[in-house]
């Protein structure tokens, strides 16, 4: 049974890392679940502290929430108005909804929809195209920041998994 938990953990970590780049896969929760699988391993469980599990769980929640907030925040930081922020939010929601029915559109949409939403929101709000492009670029940078955070979290989860497994096996 212990080998099963290690196997499930490895697959979860792999898909969690892939989810860092593909927005349709929930990367941080999958990575965290992969690490939690060690908690179900009878001999490794004793070597993992509860505070360690809680720390990474809270970190996972914060990163997951920030991943959705950062494109909107980036829009604001790059001079976007309320119209651009609303447009970025609407673009993100549309992309998520499209992703539920059409996964390929969802992956592409979560990357570009907040950008174009912020751009369109600024134009509809009466801003010129220069401000609209800056606002859209801020949204894209927010998305990119979220992706980098998810990637780092996924790599840390893999490192922690391997560290605990190697301690057990060696």
Per-residue pLDDT tens digits for 62-102: 999 998 888 888 888 888 888 888 887 888 778 777 765 66
Q: What does the pLDDT look like over 116-140, one tens digit per residue?
A: 888 888 899 888 888 888 888 888 8
Calculate the alpha carbon distances from 112 to 9, 39, 129, 148 in Å: 32, 38, 17, 17
Name the one residue in this structure whose structure tokens are 């800056």.
134
Number of domains the chain contains: 1
SS3 84: helix
Q: What is the pTM of this model?
A: 0.77
Domain containing 118 equals: 2-169
């Amino acid at each position: 049974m212990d080998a099963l938990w290690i196997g499930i953990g490895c697959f979860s970590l792999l898909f969690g890392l892939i989810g860092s780049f593909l927005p349709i896969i929930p990367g941080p929760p999958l990575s965290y679940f992969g690490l939690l699988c060690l908690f179900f391993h009878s001999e490794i469980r004793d070597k993992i502290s509860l505070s360690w599990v809680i720390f990474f769980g809270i970190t996972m929640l914060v990163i997951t929430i920030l991943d959705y907030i950062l494109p909107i925040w980036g829009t604001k930081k790059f001079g976007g108005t309320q119209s651009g922020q609303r447009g970025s939010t609407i673009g993100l929601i549309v992309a998520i909804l499209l992703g539920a029915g059409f996964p390929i559109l969802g992956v592409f949409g979560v990357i570009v929809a907040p950008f174009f939403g912020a751009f369109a929101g600024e134009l509809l709000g009466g801003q010129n195209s220069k401000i609209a492009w800056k606002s859209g670029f801020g949204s894209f940078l927010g998305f990119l920041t979220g992706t980098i955070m998810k990637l780092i979290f996924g790599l840390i989860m893999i490192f922690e998994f391997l560290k605990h497994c190697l301690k057990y096996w060696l």
